[in-house]
Amino acid sequence: MSPFNLKATSSFQTLEITVLSCEDLCINGRSVKKNTCVVVRTDPLNFRETTTDTEGGSYPSWDQKLALDMSIRETCITLEVHCRTLSVDRIIGSARMPVNDFMGGYFPQGYLSFLSYRLKDPKGLDNGIINVSVRLRVPEYLSRGK
Amino acid sequence: MGNCFSDVAGGRAAVGGSAAAASAASGNDAVDHFLKSRGLYGSQIELSFSATNMRDRDVLSKSDPMLVVYTKGRDGTLTEAFRTEVVLNSLNPTWIAKHTITFQFEVVQSLEFHAYDVDTQFHNMDVKMLKLEEQQFLGEASCVLSEVVTRPSRSLTLDLVYREDPMVSGNPRRCGQLIVHAEECISSKTTTEMILKCSNLEYKDLFSRSDPFLLISKIVEVGVPIPVCKTEVLKNDHHPVWKPVFLSIQQVGSKENPLMIECFNFSSSGKHDLIGKVQKSLADLEKLHSSGEGEHLFLPPTAGHNHQNKELKSQIFVEKFSQSSRHTFLDYLTGGCELNFMVAIDFTASNGNPRLPDSLHYVDPSGRLNAYQRAIIEVGEVLQFYDSDKRFPAWGFGARPIDGPVSHCFNLNGSNNHCEVDGVQGIMIAYTSALYNVSLAGPTLFGPVISNAALIASQSLANGGRKYFVLLIITDGVVTDLQETKDAIVKASDLPLSILIVGVGGADFKEMEILDADKGDRLESSTGRVASRDIVQFIPFRDVQSGEISVVQALLAELPTQFLSYMRSRNIQPNM
């Protein structure tokens, strides 16, 4: 959990990211059986995570919405897929989501973007795909004028 | 036919080919075509009619009008489709009888209406028995079905006209107005959502994996079952749970109609092995869901062996079964959504010198259209009705405009400022004039036109528009920079845009099929982003034999499904 209350400052915004699902996850060359979860982070201290999927195997799905505060100067969000048991927590795949993929340019305020990324395992090899949807929460003082 | 799709974070749809010999549904053209596509959109529409200010033919009383509805073929031939009843003594009739017609998005459905005053002596006859030449002709009107369904009120008012003497040219006399109103049948709007899963799918052999998908078909009295819907392919899964499938009552006929559900093992060769099947109606599936039980799959007897069905250990379960009323494609149109047509034409040198008859760009003085012109018309004529201002961005690529460097996205109308032309005719005119104003060059790159189209789509989004864009790219060759094209497509996959690529000429288009996710994996950009939707459809253009559905029509038929999946995934309502 983030140690700071960042909502009051105008140089931060809230990212609503719904972690949808992953496809074709492998661990040690074989399909993942269970116990995967996704961590969404901007830096080592600022992150949110989903609950653990115990049934989906190599095609887990969460459909979980996470709210993550981030600086408006942030350029990239990291998505990590963890395989977690009571004793071990391994990152089996990660992807970087550039902020430009859902922000800036001609995207209207509050646009719901559906994005998917190739996951790479710690060795840099392809390991499946992650599907998310992202929306920037419009700060209160901006939406009041509408 | 089907209105079935997998959700945005989609899986693969199966590649075409006939089913394995063990299945009763093998070798059938309808199945082949279906497996190659994701299903056609057809919706039942009820047309009702009324008229005002009709001509008064009778001396002592008012006319007794009846309306006859014809469908008009491409060559202009009229085929009678329907007759209303006779309304007595009225110049402003509202007919009660309604005509049910299937709205087919991919076809231009021309209708013609003839109004008659029915003579008193025939008033007690069944309207079907009336001889039209014995009645008094009151006037005629014509329209295209898409014009009616795209109106916000779903009502179209047409002038009834009457020619005094067919031999004399000149303005026909107006004699009243006909109002045509369309309503979508309830059966099209009620949808069943199901989540199906299987357990213990059998290994076909020790070394192969099972990549299962389901094909749901409607069982008909005579002939092979008609495919209605198929799920995505799950990789290497013996306990598959597929994404929800949506079936409208209209697609399956009724809740009690038997359906065939077949589980196939996907093969990239196109020859999918049948793993097992069951036969259940929607009502049966609802019972399976509420009981929580599974049903064993079975294999039909193979030729020469025993005549029993072989029951398998594998079972199918219905995890979810719910019925709801969903917004249809026509609901979105009524609510103000539009389809905006854009076109990009390949002007690379491989087409051949346009002045020579063997060039793909040859404009025949006799009026025979070349492949580029035919593709523009086939797509443009259907899509034009869904665009309110009929101004279409049109580009060329791969050529050198006069005194300039090679451009991979130049305005077809020759303007420096704006890219739009007026109507399909505007595209044709700009195309022929561009042919003589540019030097064909190369290479074949799609990146710039796709990025331009994506820019227009996202600008429209930013302005709050409810527009969905369709980019038609007509090309004679294989794209040179495949990765740049993939990058542009991946970036555009989250926008309200579909891309139709038509390949003309005799080139080998095998590589282009990679861009169409139906035939392979999801597209990946060079930065690691993956396309969130399959927005590209590719088809090689070829001449059709009579009676066959045109290849371009098959492409167009997918559009309502792509449009709906975009709208529904973002929970965008029709705003009616």
Q: State the burial class of residue B432 (Cβ atoms within 10 Å of its Cβ: 0-12, 13-18, 19+).
A: middle
User: What is the radius of gyration, based on Cα positions, of chain B?
Assistant: 27
CA B444, B450, B451, B455 torsion-angle sign: positive
Highest mean pLDDT among A96-105, B35-44, B356-365: B356-365
Bridge partners, A95 (sequence order): A79
Tell me the pLDDT tens digit for each residue of B85-141: 999 989 999 999 999 998 888 889 999 999 999 988 888 888 888 888 888 899 999
Q: Locate tokens 């005799």: which residue?
A: B506
Distance (Å, rounded) from C-alpha B441 to C-alpha B361? 13
For residue B445, pLDDT over 90 is answered with yes
Q: Tell me which residue of B497, B219, B50 sits closest to A106, measured CA to CA.
A: B497
- Cβ contact, residue pair A59, B234, below 8 Å: yes
Query: Which of A25, A75, A106 best probes binding to B when mutated, by most B CB atoms within 10 angstroms?
Result: A106
* N-term to C-term CA, chain B: 26
Residue B316 confidence class, pLDDT cut points 50, 70, 90: very high
Distance (Å, rounded) from C-alpha B402 to C-alpha B400? 6
Beta carbons within 10 angstroms of residue B23's beta carbon: 23
Distance (Å, rounded) from C-alpha B413 to C-alpha B433? 8
Tell me the pLDDT tens digit for each residue of B370-413: 999 999 999 999 999 999 999 999 999 999 988 789 999 999 99
Distances (CA, A) of B541 to B277, B327, B378, B502, B520: 36, 33, 11, 6, 20
Distance (Å, rounded) from C-alpha A70 to C-alpha A47? 10
For residue B425, which phi and psi values (nearest 5 degrees)?
-60, -40
pTM equals 0.80
One-letter amino acid at B43 equals S
Q: Which residues of B403-415 are buried (b: 16+ CB within 10 A; e: fewer)?
A: eeebbbbbbbbee
Is B461 in CB contact (< 8 Å) with chain A? yes
Q: Which residues of A touch B570 (CB under 8 A)?
A: 112, 114
For residue B519, pLDDT over 60 is answered with no
Q: What is the mean pLDDT of chain A?
A: 85
> What is the pLDDT at residue B22?
22
The 3-state DSSP class for residue B41 equals coil
- Cβ contact, residue pair A116, B9, below 8 Å: yes
> What is the pLDDT at residue B3?
36
Q: Are A127 and A93 in contact (CB under 8 A)?
A: yes
- Cβ contact, residue pair A117, B528, below 8 Å: yes
- Cβ contact, residue pair B458, A105, below 8 Å: yes
> What is the pLDDT at residue B24?
27
Distance from CA of A11 to the nearest CA of B (A): 23
Distance (Å, rounded) from C-alpha B118 to C-alpha B132? 9
* Closest Cβ opposite residue A113 in set B236, B455, B494: B494
| Helices of type H across B440-532 | 447-462, 482-492
Q: Tell me which residue of B253, B258, B255 sits closest to B219, measured CA to CA.
A: B258
Distance from CA of B527 to the nearest CA of A (A): 9
Query: How many interface pairs between A and B have CB atoms less than 8 angstroms apart?
Result: 59
Q: Tell me which residue of B529, B556, B369, B388 sits closest to B472, measured CA to CA.
A: B556
Tell me the pLDDT tens digit for each residue of B233-242: 887 778 888 8
Distance (Å, rounded) from C-alpha B555 to C-alpha B473? 12
Residue B224 confidence class, pLDDT cut points 50, 70, 90: confident
The 3-state DSSP class for residue B71 equals strand
Distance (Å, rounded) from C-alpha A85 to C-alpha A49? 15
Identify each DSSP E strand in B272-309 by its residue range. Answer: 273-281, 295-299
Residue with more model confidence, B352 or B57: B352
Tell me the pLDDT tens digit for each residue of B14-41: 322 122 222 223 334 444 455 544 444 5
Listed range (A107-121, B200-214, B225-239) with the worst mean pLDDT: B200-214
Distance (Å, rounded) from C-alpha B272 to C-alpha B502? 27
For residue B205, pLDDT over 80 is answered with no
Query: Which of A114, A129, A136 best probes binding to B when mutated, by most B CB atoms within 10 angstroms?
Result: A114
Is B569 in CB contact (< 8 Å) with chain A? yes
Residue with more model confidence, A66 or A138: A66
Q: Tell me which residue of A3, A1, A27 sits closest to A81, measured CA to CA.
A: A27
For residue B7, pLDDT over 50 is answered with no
Tell me the pLDDT tens digit for each residue of B277-313: 999 999 999 999 999 999 999 888 876 666 778 888 8
Share of chain B above pLDDT 70, in %: 87
Residue B459's closest chain A neighbor by CA?
Answer: A106
In this prediction, residues B464-486 reach a mean pLDDT of 91
In this prediction the ipTM stands at 0.86
One-letter amino acid at B240 equals P
In this structure, the dihedral spanned by the alpha carbons of residues B324, B325, B327 and B330, taken in order and rounded to 10 degrees, is: 140
Query: What is the bridge-based pairing of β-strands B310-325 and B295-299?
Result: antiparallel
* Closest Cβ opposite residue B8 in set A96, A101, A114: A114
For residue B13, pLDDT over 50 is answered with no
> What is the pLDDT at residue B38?
41
Q: Tell me which residue of B572, B360, B352, B542 sits closest to B468, measured CA to CA.
A: B572
In this prediction, residues B359-366 reach a mean pLDDT of 94
- Cβ contact, residue pair A114, B234, below 8 Å: no
* N-term to C-term CA, chain A: 32
Q: Which residues of A touch B524 (CB under 8 A)?
A: 118
| Helices of type H across B260-411 | 282-291, 329-334, 371-383
Q: State the burial class of residue B574 (Cβ atoms within 10 Å of its Cβ: 0-12, 13-18, 19+).
A: middle
Distance (Å, rounded) from C-alpha B190 to C-alpha B255? 11
> What is the pLDDT at residue A115?
95
